[in-house]
């Protein structure tokens, strides 16, 4: 199953990846052969790298291990394909524009049949590839487009965006495992559902969260596949499985969490989302 990683921090910090180590931390002995991608945000734009080839064979991955650019918001995805060929068009994270900002989305799970269930009402956000993940992203952006002012630089509030995302997540959950990380460059939103665990059983949690303040001990990620510059600051890490031996929080099934500048900004549980 695919592996997700995301980081939100108060100050930009250098982040590098050993993606094969990160995949093995998720309980997989072999390489995730169907592609990889990393997105580094800078204000309203993003530096996005993707390859459809195995991370283990990538010279670009080896370069990024030591040369990841500074960023305060990072999203990474390692792909094990369930829908769509191993091609660049199907490689995550996916990027689109909305409201003059880059939006990035990565998904872990499998949701067959959503194309037939949910018809896109416009051509503003059209899938390039064949995956359920990209199609779900286009559906999300169509819903978010209703709260973004196309002629203003003013962002919708985090709470307003969270409400839309939580309702969307509750709508799509019944169609299959739906763990995702999404950002508009201002805030990071994560949704935890279910995933195939190391024993082969599909159950919660789908994502784990670790939050550290500048007054706490720095996170040691040396063995996890993530190279993070040691910097005293607010920091929030999200991963499919815990990357260290510290007590990571299992994010509740159906919960959506909004992170901004390294702190938990707001949360919406499954029950709240269903009531909206």
Q: How confident is the model at residue 276 (pLDDT cuts 50, 70, 90)?
A: very low
* Tokens describing residue 166: 């939580």
How confident is the model at residue 229, as a pLDDT?
75
Residue 19 is encoded by which pair of tokens? 């993606």
Q: For residue 178, how many other CB atoms are within 10 A of its CB?
A: 28
The confidence band for 85, taking pLDDT boundaries of 50, 70 and 90, is confident
Q: How many distinct structural domains can be found in the chain?
A: 1
Mean pLDDT of 197-208: 90
Q: According to the model, what pLDDT value does residue 29 have? A: 47
Indicate if the pLDDT at residue 272 is higher than 60: no
User: Residue 83's pLDDT is what?
Assistant: 65
Dist. CA 266–CA 258, nearest whole Å: 5
pLDDT for res 275:
35
Hey, which residues does 14 pair with through a beta bridge? 70
pLDDT at 248 over 90: yes
Q: Per residue, what are the HEC states of the chain?
A: CCEEEEEEEEEEEEEEECHHHHHHHCCCCCCCCCCEEEEEEECCEEEEEEECCCHHHCHHHHHHHHHCCEEEEEEEEECCCCCCCCCHHHCCCEEEEECCEEEEEEEECCCCCHHHHCCCCCCCCCCCCCCHHHHHHHHHHHHHCCCCCCCCCCCCCHHHHHHHHHHHHHHHHHHCCCEEEEECCCCEEEEECCEECCCCCEECCCCEEEEECCCCCCCCCCCCCEEECCCCCCEEEEECCCCCCCCCEECCCCEEEEEECCEEEEEECHHHHHHC
Q: Distance between CA atoms of 63 and 147, rounded to whole angstroms?
A: 39
**CATH number of the domain within which 234 lies:** 3.60.20.10
Question: Per the structure block, which two tokens stand in for 40?
Answer: 């580094």
Whole-angstrom distance, CA of residue 176 vs CA of residue 109: 7
Residue 249 structural domain: 3-275
User: Does residue 137 have a pLDDT over 80?
Assistant: yes
Residue 1 or residue 93, greater confidence: 93
Q: Give 84's pLDDT tier (boundaries 50, 70, 90).
A: low
In this predicted model, which residue has the larger pLDDT, 262 or 198? 262
- Predicted pLDDT of residue 165: 98
State phi, psi for 91 to the nearest 5 degrees.
-95, 135
pTM: 0.91
Summarised one tens digit per residue, pLDDT across range 159-186 is: 999 999 999 999 999 999 999 999 999 9
User: Is a pLDDT exceeding 70 seen at residue 242?
Assistant: yes
Could you report the per-residue pLDDT of 21-69, keeping only the tens digit for each?
A: 766 654 454 445 778 899 999 999 999 999 998 877 788 888 888 888 9
């Amino acid at each position: 199953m695919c592996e997700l990683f995301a980081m939100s921090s108060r100050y930009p910090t250098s982040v590098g990846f050993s993606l094969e180590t990160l995949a093995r931390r998720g309980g997989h002995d072999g390489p995730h052969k169907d592609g990889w991608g990393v997105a580094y945000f800078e204000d309203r734009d993003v530096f996005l790298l993707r390859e459809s080839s195995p991370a283990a064979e990538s010279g670009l991955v080896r370069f990024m291990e030591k040369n990841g650019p500074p960023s305060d918001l990072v999203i990474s995805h390692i792909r094990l394909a369930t829908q769509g060929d191993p091609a660049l068009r199907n490689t995550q994270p996916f990027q689109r524009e909305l409201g003059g900002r880059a939006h990035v989305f990565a998904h872990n799970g499998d949701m067959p049949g959503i194309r037939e269930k949910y018809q896109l009402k416009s051509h503003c956000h059209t899938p390039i590839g064949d995956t359920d993940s990209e199609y779900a992203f286009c559906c999300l952006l169509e819903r978010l487009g209703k709260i973004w002012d196309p002629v203003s630089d003013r962002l919708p509030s985090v709470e307003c965006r969270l409400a839309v995302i939580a309702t969307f997540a509750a709508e799509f959950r019944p169609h299959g495992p739906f763990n995702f990380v999404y950002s508009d460059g201002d805030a990071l939103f994560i949704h935890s559902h279910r995933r195939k665990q190391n024993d082969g059983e599909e159950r919660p949690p789908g994502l784990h969260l670790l939050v550290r303040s500048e007054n706490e001990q720095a996170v040691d990620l040396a063995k996890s596949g993530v190279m993070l510059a040691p910097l005293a600051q607010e920091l929030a890490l999200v991963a499919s499985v815990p990357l260290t031996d510290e007590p990571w929080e299992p994010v509740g099934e159906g919960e959506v969490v909004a992170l901004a500048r390294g702190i938990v900004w707001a949360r919406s549980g499954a029950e709240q989302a269903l009531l909206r």
